[in-house]
Structure 1
Amino acid sequence: MKRLFLGFSALIAFLAFSSNAFAFKVAVVDLNKALQNCQAGIDAKSILQKIIDAKKTVIDNKQKELNDLAQKIQNTSTNKKDKQQLELEYQTKLRDLERYKADATDDVVSKEREYTQNIINGLVETVKNISQKDGIDLVFEVHQGLVYWNDALDITSQVIKEYNKIYEQSKK
């Protein structure tokens, strides 16, 4: 009987110890929400919009030039030789416009990717720092296949707050 009691006690102690050994502190973070709502993300969006607006102005001006050339070409008072010259100029400017549009799109996409990657890297580093400070063992990104989580586990607002502090200090 004494052996059975000792064995049972050992089993209970093992289960109690092993359940503590496997207890994890878990959190979730929405990096997309953090990217959109942190000051660096807001600033990046503003910078990108200014770049887009400037490129759109150039495109609009080039398009206006093309429209003016098209009107000159269609004008019945324009002689044949001048029309040929205007058509060549039109084709050249049209190719330039198409090239500019493609380059502008590539430039904006490249800058957006660069800003996004830099901010995401900073947010991930912030998540790591918060996790180490708060003793969090696992952090899941909510868009990576999670179906349910308790809102109490969400550290997104804490990540945004901490990252904003780091971002503001880096601007000084």
Structure 2
Amino acid sequence: MKRLWIGLVVVLMMVATPVVAAEVKVAYVDLQKALVVCDAGKAAKGTMGKRVKEFQATAQKRQQNLKVLNEELEKKKMMLSADARAEKERDYQQKTKDFQRFIKDAQEELQREEGLLGREILEGLGKVIKELGDKEGYTLVLEKSNGGLLYADESIDLTDKVIAAYNKAYKASNGK
């Protein structure tokens, strides 16, 4: 019986040896850094900055118009009939609601646009990571910024390589 166990252990060791001998190559990428530092991320940030400024300018104009309307209402309040005053107050309240709706819609639209831009870039980064992983023979590439990676030596950080490869692909696809 003892010989059977020893034989079984020897067979298992022979079978397991190739698995142990296979090289496991692991790396990680900081996707948050790549998203912010890559050319597409910088372009998206610029685009979103312009959109925010456009909405802010429109909001300031509308807010100023509301302020002027409110001041006029306060000045003429005593001179207006009850019906006229009620009509002006309803008009002011409606414009205030419209302004609040505009702000809410603008915020939602900006978040949606930012999400779309971010997803496009992340998809591109994912393709680059897969290509690099295949080309350089990585067994596993982990994501750093999600909080799942507690420690890793910087020598296995592929972030800068991924950014460079993605920038190259981004410039090629945009004709730059």
Whether TM exceeds 0.5 here: the answer is yes
Runs of 4+ in 1 over 4 A off after TM superposition: 9-16
Aligned pair count reads 165
Aligned to 1:121: 123
Percent identity of equivalent pairs: 31
Aligned to 1:4: none
Aligned to 1:43: 43
Q: Residues 67 and 20 of structure 1: is their aligned pair in 2 closer, same or farther, counting only changes over 3 Å?
A: same
Q: Residues 98 and 68 of structure 1: is their aligned pair in 2 closer, same or farther, counting only changes over 3 Å?
A: same
Aligned to 1:110: 112
Alignment match of 2:148 (pick from 145, 149, 152): 145
Aligned to 1:169: 172
Question: By how many angstroms is 1:92 displaced?
Answer: 1.6
Structure 2 residue runs without a partner (length 5+): 1-6
Question: By how many angstroms is 1:17 displaced?
Answer: 3.3
Q: Secondary structure at the match of 2:150?
A: coil
Alignment TM-score, normalising by the size of structure 1: 0.87
CA distance in 2, matches of 1:28, 1:150: 9
| Correspondence list, 1:1-172, <5 A | 17-21=18-22, 23-75=23-75, 79-81=79-81, 82-142=84-144, 143-172=146-175
Question: By how many angstroms is 1:66 displaced?
Answer: 0.6
Alignment TM-score, normalising by the size of structure 2: 0.85
Root mean square deviation of aligned Cα: 2.2
